[in-house]
Amino acid sequence: MLKPLPSSWVERIFLRLQGVYGREFTSQYSQYVGDVDIGMENAKRVWAEELAGFTDHPEAIAYALETLPDRAPNAIKFRDACRRAPEKPKVLIENKLTQEQMAANKKRVADMIASLKMVKDANNGR
């Protein structure tokens, strides 16, 4: 099982969604027992579980926050938006060989070919 998203991340997501959607977002979850909003606390726990695995992909969460729908998403819809994030471009490392490295590689290849020819000749001369 994946490790839940850190609670500090969920807090920031909730603050953003509350700022964008207002009561439309918070009223989905709020349920007070005394002075404690147990509904919101439960929602944050569920969101942390649904977004497990995105700790290593914060750019996917950023994408979901940048492409919010017109209506407040629930945890499943937000998770799906994270999954639609474009893949990070892979960084390719280019290795340009110097003239000296190319010459050394050519010599190694020539030496290997010569060694193989000697083995072949030795086996044919038995």
Q: Is residue 108 part of a domain?
A: yes
Look at residue 31 and tell me whether its pLDDT is greater than 90.
yes
Q: Is residue 38 part of a domain?
A: yes
Domain interval for residue 117: 93-126
Give me the number of domains the chain comprises: 2
Same domain, residue pair 47 and 79: yes
Mean pLDDT of 84-95: 83
Same domain, residue pair 43 and 97: no
Q: Is residue 2 part of a domain?
A: no
* pLDDT-above-90 percentage for the chain: 75
Q: Is residue 20 part of a domain?
A: yes
Confidence of residue 120 (pLDDT cuts 50, 70, 90): confident
pLDDT in the model for residue 71: 97
Q: Who's near 47: CB < 8 A, 6+ residues apart?
A: 5, 10, 13, 14, 75, 78
Same domain, residue pair 76 and 111: no
Same domain, residue pair 15 and 43: yes
Same domain, residue pair 33 and 55: yes
